[in-house]
Chains A and B, each alone.
Chain A
């Protein structure tokens, strides 16, 4: 299954929470942002640690979305990505203010500059 089958175009980069106006009833969404990491010794590679949050209307939907994200990212490779790896399995959480369900996950992604 493709991620876009579950989220459409609602993948938001550089964000901790979805943009203003979004509600889970609009459909699933994913936010991601770099939370740490650094460059390799010779600056040829970047090794960011990236936070992903998978939002849905309930816990089951959020985890289902996370599983598809995991399948696509774990051990992923492309011309730019040398390696991607899950740091920890996703955790189901609830936003304290909005009470939206989401799965919090972290991946380390080794990227060619």
Chain B
């Protein structure tokens, strides 16, 4: 904080990534902006709506008879929710949004057999926990393209709206994806939901 810096103003879209829980974050130096994240990270495809990342908390106000305003305030609950709408409708993305309830079976084309994919929804109690990541662009004062990344240590997907099939609109079918964070008890207090990272300059 202090002197205003125009370069700190961000205008960027973002890519969404997912990986198994515990996957290492992409290296801030070797994995440049726009490059595929290494390891088990998988980029989620096209989206048709902005990617939003909301952190929210509930607070408890300690009030005493002698004062009009609270004398102390504690955080008593917190949530982290990311949302977007996937533009590609496939069995894999449907499962990603629905927390991977079922496997995706794929049958290849053959003589007298069309290729198809199939998956199910419903009846699965367990939500598949994944690690999630966002990458956007930070253009620093030197004009270097650097990544802005947010990591959700652990979260579950939710199909957050209907699949809308319509011939008479100028829109197309989207898969509403909501990702809700779980606390990662292995992290320090203050870091249990997300980590925000902005690469500010090239190495020297």
Judged by a CB distance under 8 angstroms, whether A1 is at the interface is: no
A40-B48, A42-B13 known, 9 other contacts, Cβ within 8 Å: A42-B47, A44-B46, A44-B87, A45-B172, A47-B170, A82-B172, A85-B168, A110-B170, A110-B172
B171 to chain A, nearest CB (A): 9
Main secondary structure of the interface of A (DSSP, over half): strand
- B49 in the interface, Cβ–Cβ < 8 Å? yes
**B170:A108 contact, CB within 8 angstroms:** yes
Tally of contact residues, A, Cβ under 8 A: 12
Is B167 in contact with chain A by the CB < 8 A criterion?
yes
Most buried by B among A41, A44, A85, A110: A41
Q: In this assembly, does A83 line the interface, its C-beta being within 8 Å of a C-beta of chain B?
A: yes
Q: A-facing mask of B150-169, CB < 8 A → 1, else 0?
A: 00000000000000000110
Give per-residue flags for A44-76: 1 if the beta carbon is below 8 A from chain B beta carbons, else 0: 110100000000000000000000000000010
In the assembled complex, the Cα of A82 lies from the Cα of B13 at a distance in Å of 25
Q: Across the interface, which residues of B come within 8 angstroms of A75, CB to CB?
A: 167
B13: chain A residues at CB < 8 Å are: 42
Closest Cβ–Cβ distance, residue A62 to chain B (whole Å): 27
What is the 8 Å Cβ interface bit string for chain B, positions 168-190, against chain A (1 contact, 0 not)?
Answer: 10101000000000000000000
Please name all residues of chain A whose beta carbon is closer than 8 Å to the beta carbon of B46 when the two chains form the complex: 42, 44
Residue of A nearest to B50 (CB): A41
A30 CB to closest chain B CB (Å) equals: 23
B48 lies within 8 A of A85 (CB): no
Q: Interface range on chain B: under 10, 10 to 19, 20 to 34, or 35 or more?
A: 10 to 19
Tell me, in angstroms, the Cα distance from A40 to B49 when the chains sit together: 10
- Which residues of A pack against B, CB within 8 Å? 40-42, 44-45, 47, 75, 82-83, 85, 108, 110
Whether the pair A42, B170 counts as a contact (CB closer than 8 A) is: no
Scoring B residues 29 to 60 as 1 if CB is less than 8 Å from chain A, else 0, what string do you get?
A: 00000000000000000111110000000000
Give Cα A44 to B87, complex, Å.
9
List the B side residues contacting A41 at CB < 8 Å: 47-50, 87
Selected A-B contacts with CB under 8 Å, 25 pairs: A40-B48, A40-B87, A41-B47, A41-B48, A41-B49, A41-B50, A41-B87, A42-B13, A42-B46, A42-B47, A42-B48, A42-B87, A44-B46, A44-B87, A45-B172, A47-B170, A75-B167, A82-B172, A83-B167, A83-B172, A85-B168, A85-B170, A108-B170, A110-B170, A110-B172
Give Cα A75–Cα B170 distance, bound, in whole angstroms.
11
Bound Cα distance A47, B168 (Å)? 14
Contacts of B50 in A (CB 8 A): 41
A42 CA to B172 CA, complexed, in Å = 13
Which residues of the other chain, B, contact A45 by a CB distance below 8 angstroms?
Answer: 172
Complex Cα gap A45–B88 (Å): 12
**What does the 1/0 interface line of B8-20 toward A look like (CB < 8 Å)?**
0000010000000
Chain B residues, Cβ within 8 Å of A47? 170
Task: Please name the residue on chain A nearest to B168 by beta carbon.
Answer: A85
A108 to B168, CA, bound (A): 11
